[in-house]
Structure 1
Amino acid sequence: MKIQGQLFIWLSVFILVVAIVYGYWSMEPAGTTALFLAFGLAIMIGFYLAFTAKRVDVGAQDNKEADVADDAGEVGFFSPHSWQPLALGLGGALAFLGVAVGWWIMYFSAPVILVGLFGWVFEYYRGENRTQ
């Protein structure tokens, strides 16, 4: 995690230099603002990773002598049969269509998003997996 923090801090320094040069040469406020905001995001992520790296054990990515197998292990649990991301994707697509075409489409996208969200959150609280 230490190397990722350093990468983001160096990336933020680069973005800051680019933002200053771009702002001076172009005199264009939108792009300059976007670059300064990107600098802020990169520096926040870099300092978070650097701060967190001091509190956790050294990972395999920080050990120069580590093998790929040293970082193996369980990543997490991913549902193998969930249809809820499809509902969220369709609801999100309808919501963005509502921004482009007309806000009235949000009345149709909001229920689809809510059904997908609640279905995904409470997916394992029904049927045989329900707790008593």
Structure 2
Amino acid sequence: MKVEFKMFLIIGVFFAVMGSIYGHFSSWDEPVGSVGLYLSAGLCALIAGFLWWTGRKIDLRPDDDPMGEQSDVEGDYGFFSPHSWWPLFLGASLAIVALGLAFGWWLVMLAVPFVALASIGWVFEYFHGEHSI
């Protein structure tokens, strides 16, 4: 948790400094940028405070050890299909949905069935054919 706490603390300080610089150079006439940067600093401080508070209560993780090895991390990472084409089709379909949000709803309506088909294909990939469970 120490690495994450420090990261959010540094980013929060950066946002606070940039908010002051932005406000100074805009003569505080345009408040939206400064307010947005200060709110971002506050949210980073909120997350950093949560991580610090939680990090005090739990034991050190293998990630927190500077001399830690990859083998120190326990647990199963899960099964990832090595030869699956479905993530590619799902990503392409979602890219078309995103383009449809920018260009027109008709493109979203055309892409939604492909998103559904790719999602179903990915979920049920090992329930048919020679790889069935």
Pair 1:114 & 2:116 matched: yes
Q: 1-side partners of 2:124 and 2:58: how far apart?
A: 32
SS in 2 for 1:15: helix
Does the 8 Å CA contact 2:62/2:73 hold for their aligned counterparts? no
Aligned residue identity for 1:119: G
Does the 8 Å CA contact 1:98/1:106 hold for their aligned counterparts? yes
Does the 8 Å CA contact 2:4/2:51 hold for their aligned counterparts? yes
Pair 1:2 & 2:2 matched: yes
| Cα deviation code 1:96-127 (max 9, x no counterpart) | 22123222101111112222233334445x23
Match of 2:15 in 1: 15
Moved more, 42-51 or 89-98: 42-51
Does the 8 Å CA contact 1:60/1:70 hold for their aligned counterparts? no
Q: Residues 70-85 of structure 1 correspond to what in structure 2 (within 5 A)?
A: 71-72=72-73, 76-77=77-78, 78-85=80-87
Aligned residue identity for 1:46: A
Cα distance, 1:95 vs. partner?
1.3
Runs of 5+ consecutive residues of structure 2 not aligned to the other structure: none
Cα distance, 1:85 vs. partner?
1.4
Match of 1:87 in 2: 89
Does the 8 Å CA contact 2:86/2:122 hold for their aligned counterparts? yes
Cα distance, 1:63 vs. partner?
2.9
Match of 1:57 in 2: 59
Runs of 5+ consecutive residues of structure 1 not aligned to the other structure: none
Q: Considering only aligned residues, what root-mean-square deviation do their CA atoms show, in Å? A: 2.9
Match of 1:68 in 2: 69
1:80–1:67 distance in 2 versus 1, CA, 3 Å: same
Q: TM-score, normalised by structure 2?
A: 0.70
Q: 2-side partners of 1:98 and 1:112: how far apart?
A: 13
Larger Rg: 2
Q: 2-side partners of 1:82 and 1:29: how far apart?
A: 49
Aligned length in residues:
127
Aligned-residue identity in percent: 36
